[in-house]
């Protein structure tokens, strides 16, 4: 904008302000102050959220002497990547990463597929005791998984179907240390957070006008074809959101992993065992009785944690458009 145009705009502003008896100037100043206050508040909130992550990133690149140096606060004085190399070695990082990607992907796909069918059924069909079954779904959200952990352990350790396996072989099946319990729980919509996904999908389908289905029925589509050809394409945002939730929760889950997947190496299990493996490493290098300092243990844990969440950050950057879109479209409608 040229100086002449800027002068004309200023003259117009002061002329309008004079005609409004100073109201325009007060409104403009108030708007600017509000924007400044909002920017400061958002910056403070964002800093509170990302500050622990930034602190872990800083610590992960420090050598051990920097951890005890009071003059080193955020930026390492002795920059090093040896923490990442050692953490990768102790965690068997690439093996655990491959296994974690496979398990999380398989479980998430099965879980979202089963929850989509159940959520669509709750949203569109009437059947006996519908409200009762939906109340059971809500209870599965509220009840912590630790409450039923003993029952799950016994059920899958001594698995049987109406006594058939014991009658044929004389023994029950031990399904622990395999993927079978995970898959069976996901198919039955009893996987990790399945109740939440059913609720979200149900709310989304309830917001879709029934006229779309009626028009499909008039055109000759059956219920299954209508669901696949009409409803599922519209549900891509909410399915993307549920898939990301399922993938992230499965990625970071160590409770069910320890309960069922004892032999499969996963990143959450490797991260919890990192301190013990670091102690064994020090003993093998420096002799019996040598242990790492508490500060160095925390630095290694921070490094391992960053290595575990970096793939999740990459996945979110790729899928964040669909995730945000799903949150804006899945309003709560009772």
Model confidence over 229-269: pLDDT tens digits? 888 888 888 888 888 888 988 888 888 888 887 778 888 88
Radius of gyration of the chain (CA): 28
The band of 333, judged by pLDDT with boundaries at 50, 70 and 90, is very low
Nearest to 152 by CA among 104, 192, 202: 192
Q: Give the 3-state secondary structure of residue 173.
A: strand
Residue 334 has pLDDT above 50, yes or no: no
Mean pLDDT lowest for which of 3-7, 250-254, 273-277? 3-7
Q: Give the pLDDT of residue 109.
A: 92
Mean pLDDT of 42-54: 85
Q: Say yes or no to pLDDT of 91 above 60.
A: yes
Low-confidence winner among 89-93, 111-115, 210-214, 271-275 (lowest mean pLDDT): 210-214
What local confidence, expressed as pLDDT, does residue 324 receive?
59
CB–CB of 299/60 below 8 Å?
yes
pLDDT for residue 332: 42
Question: At 116, is the pLDDT very low, low, confident or very high (cuts 50, 70, 90)?
Answer: very high
Q: pLDDT category, 331, cuts 50, 70, 90?
A: very low
Share of the chain above pLDDT 90, in %: 7
Mean pLDDT of 69-78: 80
Mean pLDDT calculated for residue range 159-179 = 81
Q: What is the mean pLDDT of the chain?
A: 83
Report phi then psi at 209, rounded to 5.
-60, 140
Q: How much is the pLDDT for 326?
A: 55
Q: What is the 3-state secondary structure (H, E, C) of 75-140?
A: CCCCECCHHHHHHHHHHCHHHHHHHHHHHHHHHHHHHHHHHHHHHHHHHHCCCCCHHHHHHHHHHH
For the ranges 116-120, 148-152, 237-241, 267-271, the maximum mean pLDDT occurs at 116-120
Residue 151 CB-density burial (10 A; 0-12 exposed, 13-18 middle, 19+ buried)? exposed
Compute the half-sphere exposure of residue 171: CA atoms within 13 Å on the CB side of its CA: 4
Residue 32 backbone zone (phi > 0: left; psi -120 to 50: alpha; other: beta): alpha
Per-residue pLDDT at 47: 84
HSE (side-chain half, CA atoms, 13 Å) at 334: 2
Residue 42 CA to residue 77 CA, distance in Å, equals: 31
CA trace torsion 49, 51, 53, 56 (10° rounding): -160
Average pLDDT over residues 23-30: 81
Whether 297 shows a pLDDT value over 50: the answer reads yes
Q: Supply the pLDDT for residue 38.
A: 92
Burial class (CB in 10 A: 0-12, 13-18, 19+), 75: exposed
β-pair partners for 173: 159
């Amino acid at each position: 904008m040229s100086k002449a145009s800027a002068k004309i705009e200023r003259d117009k502003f002061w002329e309008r302000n004079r005609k409004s008896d100073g109201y325009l100037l007060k409104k403009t100043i108030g708007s600017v102050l509000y924007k400044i206050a909002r920017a400061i508040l958002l910056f403070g909130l964002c800093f509170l959220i990302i500050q622990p992550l930034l602190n872990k990133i800083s610590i992960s690149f420090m050598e051990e002497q920097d951890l005890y140096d009071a003059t080193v606060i955020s930026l390492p004085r002795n920059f090093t990547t040896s923490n990442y190399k050692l953490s990768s070695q102790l965690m068997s990082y690439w093996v655990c990463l491959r296994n974690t990607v496979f398990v999380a992907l398989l479980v998430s796909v099965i879980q979202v597929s089963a929850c989509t069918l159940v959520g669509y059924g709750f949203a569109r069909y009437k059947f006996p005791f519908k409200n009762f079954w939906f109340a059971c779904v809500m209870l599965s959200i509220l009840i912590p998984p630790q409450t039923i952990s003993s029952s799950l352990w016994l059920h899958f350790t001594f698995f049987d179907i109406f006594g058939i396996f014991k009658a044929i072989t004389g023994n029950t099946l031990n399904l622990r240390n395999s993927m079978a319990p995970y898959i069976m729980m996901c198919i039955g919509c009893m996987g990790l957070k399945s109740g939440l996904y059913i609720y979200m999908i149900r709310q989304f389908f309830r917001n879709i006008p029934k006229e779309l289905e009626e028009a499909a029925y008039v055109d000759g589509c059956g219920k299954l074809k209508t669901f696949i050809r009409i409803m599922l394409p519209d549900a891509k945002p909410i399915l993307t959101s549920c898939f990301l939730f399922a993938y992230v929760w499965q990625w970071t889950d160590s409770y069910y992993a320890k309960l069922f997947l004892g032999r499969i190496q996963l990143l959450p299990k490797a991260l919890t065992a990192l301190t013990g493996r670091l102690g064994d490493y020090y003993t093998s290098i420096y002799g019996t009785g040598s242990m790492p300092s508490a500060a160095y243990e925390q630095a290694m844990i921070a490094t391992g944690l960053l290595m575990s969440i970096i793939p999740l950050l990459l996945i979110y950057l790729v899928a964040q458009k669909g995730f945000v879109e799903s949150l804006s479209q899945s309003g709560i409608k009772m």
